[in-house]
Structure 1
Amino acid sequence: MQKLRQQLEARGLVIVGACERLSARESLMQVSPLLRDFTPPEADLLGAAMLRIRAEPGQQLIAEGEASDWMMVLLQGTVDIGKRQAGTPFDADFDRASTRLAVIREGAVVGEMSMLDGEPRYASCWALSQVEAAVLGRDAVGRLIAEHPAVGAKLLVKLTQLLAQRLRNTSSKLVKALQPPPDAAASGPSGPGPGTA
């Protein structure tokens, strides 16, 4: 957990302590797709394995391309997620060379792909308001699985479901983007038809 603390502090995030009594956040337990099916005791075990952090508006939480192995559950506030446009160098102004992917709120999970596969971050995240989040590192997931197998298994199933849903959403957007506009399909091919001269 020391490595995780160092990574978070290097980003300038304030570490408040362990995320104890996660179950006391009733609205979070209802809106979070990750936490929705956890019992209060299970949620508290999960929270005890997490660090609670705070960020100010405009502060970067995750940087695209960085190597880190943790994820966040947004406890409070609003976060902007953006991706560099293809071919943009990392030293370019991100605001001018990026595409907004999403704005997320309380209960959302971010960073789980890199936590699971260890690959560089796919996108960047910034606090749009004052943010409080619970951070879970890969090492903590391993300890949770070893010490509380039922909770660890439930966590992995929920993360798998979240990733599957995101893949479905992305595939659906891709299919829509690849479909020709409705008026192009109705008019048929352009140019002279067969038998015309």
Structure 2
Amino acid sequence: MKDIEEQLLAAGLENLGPVEHLSHWPRLMQESPLMQDFTPAEADILGSVMLRVRAQPGQVLISEDDASDFMMLLLSGTVDVVKRKVGADVDAEEPGGTTRLAVLKDGASLGEMSMLDGEPRYASCIALTEVEAAVLVRSGVARLIVSHPTVGAKLLVKITQLLAQRLRNTSNQVIRLLKEQ
């Protein structure tokens, strides 16, 4: 966990320690697509391998093109997901240099793809409001699979379902755009 703590600190995120009693976030348990099928006991087991962080408005939670092996579950707050436009300078923050992909609220998860495959981040995630998030690293998933295989399997199934839904939505958008041409 030390490595992830150093990464989060370098990003300017406040480390609030381990996630204790993930099940005590009632809206999360009811509304989060990732958490809906977890029992309170399973949610607490999942939380035991996560770190809680806080970001202030304007802070970057995830940077496009960074290589990292964690995902986040938004406990509270709102996050802007943006992608640099083709040809935009990586270091420039010029107006109009990014495209908004989504605005995410409590219960949303972000960064699953890079956590699973280790590839660079597809987009950046920036706090619009004060944000608290639970951070899960790939090694935490591995620990869950060994120590609590049912919870680990349930987590992987939920992440797979989320990614499949996003792929389906993206495919529908591509088809719609192709029809407009």
- Shorter chain as denominator, the TM-score bin is over 0.9
The corresponding residue for 1:135 is 135
How far did 1:180 drift?
A: 3.2
Could you tell me the percent identity over the aligned residues?
61
The answer on whether the counterparts of 1:84 and 1:94 sit within 8 Å (CA) in structure 2 is no
Distance 2:121 2:153 in 1: 24
Listed one character per residue, the Cα deviations across residues 46-98 of structure 1 (whole Å, up to 9, x for unaligned) are 00110000000111111000010000000000000000011222112154310
In structure 2, what is the equivalent of residue 186 of structure 1?
none
- Residue 51 of structure 2 corresponds to which residue in structure 1? 51
| Separation in structure 2 between the aligned mates of residue 14 and residue 30 of structure 1, nearest angstrom | 26
| Amino acid aligned to 1:43 | A
**Which residue number corresponds to residue 9 of structure 1?**
9
Show CA shifts across 1:147-182 (max 9, x none): 10000000000000000000000000010000037x
CA distance in 2, matches of 1:49, 1:155: 12
1:24-173 matches, cutoff 5 A: 24-93=24-93, 95-173=95-173
Structure of greater Rg: 1
Report the 3-state secondary structure (helix = DSSP H, G, I; strand = E; otherwise coil) of the residue aligned with 1:64: coil
Write the distance in 2 (CA, Å) between the matches of 1:39 and 1:64: 33
Aligned length: 181
Give the gaps of 5 or more residues in structure 1: 182-197
1:88·1:97 contact (CA, 8 Å) conserved in 2? yes
Between the aligned partners of 2:45 and 2:11, the Cα distance in structure 1 is: 26
Which blocks of at least 5 consecutive residues in structure 2 are unaligned?
A: none
Residue aligned with 1:8, SS: helix
Whether 1:174 and 2:180 are equivalent positions in the alignment is no
Distance 1:52 1:180 in 2: 44
Q: TM-score, normalised by structure 1?
A: 0.90
What TM-score, normalized by structure 2, do the two folds share?
A: 0.98
Instruction: State the superposition RMSD in angstroms.
Output: 0.9
Query: Aligned letter for 1:62?
Result: I
